[in-house]
Amino acid sequence: MDLQHRIEKYFSLVYRYLTIRNRSEKEIRDYLQRKNADPDIIDAIVAKLYEQKFLNDESFARGWIRSRAMFRPRGKRMLQMELQQKGIEKEIIEKVLAEENEDVPDELTQARNIIAKRVAKLQGEPRHVIYQKVGAFLGRRGYGWDIIKKAIDQTIQDENPEK
């Protein structure tokens, strides 16, 4: 099989892979390696994808954060870890996480939104039990203790305004 035919074969695989969702450069490279593509073919395909604007790690990171905020909220620490696993450079991650985005609520708002039902279920429990259970829940999702404490305090205050 000649080189051009092999490149076209891998391109069709990559285009199909990109129809599922946007990908980072690392994800594309890993995918092509799993498909046994030669390193020079991988480099050529990645360069062509950048040229065609199918690859852009910065816009991928923004989309990932926006998607997470809408469907599976995570704290900044968890988002940073996920993006690092996707092969996004640290500078890009820091830049994108620091940006203000009207589509993405701030960390405190996200945390309050996902714990409202949990705090309501624990109503009547001692305060330390609520902090322990809800705090652990938010901690597993990458929220820092300062955000966890504020979110729980504000949610409890909203539940019991007379206290």
- Backbone phi, psi, residue 86, to 5°: -85, 0
**Cα 59 to the center of its chain, rounded Å:** 12
Q: Distance between the two ends of the chain, CA-based, in angstroms?
A: 76
* Rounded-to-integer distance, Cα 129 and Cα 116, Å: 15
- What is the chain's pLDDT, residue by residue, as a tens digit (163 residues)? 687 888 899 999 999 999 999 999 999 999 999 999 999 999 999 999 999 999 999 999 999 999 988 888 889 999 999 999 999 999 999 999 988 777 778 889 999 999 988 888 888 889 899 999 999 999 999 999 999 999 999 988 877 766 5
Burial class (CB in 10 A: 0-12, 13-18, 19+), 34: exposed
Contacts 24+ apart (CB under 8 A), 46-51: 48/11, 49/14
**Cα 132 to the center of its chain, rounded Å:** 25
Write out the two tokens for 9: 């074969």
pTM: 0.81
